[in-house]
Structure 1
Amino acid sequence: MYGALQPTHLVLILIVVLIIFGPGKLKGLGKSLGEGLRDFKNAVNSNDEDKVEKIESKPESKTDSK
């Protein structure tokens, strides 16, 4: 009625995940997820920087129509 993810639902999901994976495994999963997101962000940012460098280093072509 108020939405799918109410606070009680989130607590219940957290308890189930904790029971399934255990606290040690959750720490490793969180670390892996953080590293993956950081690598993705760095890849996206470096890709944008490469595009900027290509645009800036692109020689201007001068075509004479005469």
Structure 2
Amino acid sequence: MFGLGITEILLIVVIIVLIFGAKKLPEVGSGLGRAIQNFKKASTESEEIDVTPSKDKDKDA
């Protein structure tokens, strides 16, 4: 996995726990998961923007 061994991964996990604390890790993980999910969603959506006026607005005018 990216050329990292067990020792390096454990060291990174220990540093993360020291920085954020054990109680904040679920929040950090869920935030990171949401960020990845939003990035994937944004990269797969079409880049075109629909600027066609809706027909409901034309009826009110």
Same fold (TM over 0.5): yes
Aligned residues between the structures:
47
Query: How far 1:41 sits from its partner (Å)?
Result: 1.0
- CA RMSD, Structure 1 to Structure 2 (Å): 2.2
- Counterpart residue identity of residue 10, structure 1: I
Structure 1: which 5+ runs fail to align? 51-66
Kindly, what percent of the aligned residue pairs are identical? 34
Give 1:43's aligned residue: 42
* Structure with the larger helix share: 1
Match of 1:24, SS? Answer: coil
Structure with larger Rg: 1
Query: How far 1:33 sits from its partner (Å)?
Result: 0.8
- Counterpart residue identity of residue 37, structure 1: I
Q: TM-score, normalised by structure 2?
A: 0.59
Query: How far 1:48 sits from its partner (Å)?
Result: 6.3
Q: Distance in 1 between matches of 2:43 and 2:26?
A: 26
Structure 2: which 5+ runs fail to align? 50-61
Q: TM-score, normalised by structure 1?
A: 0.55
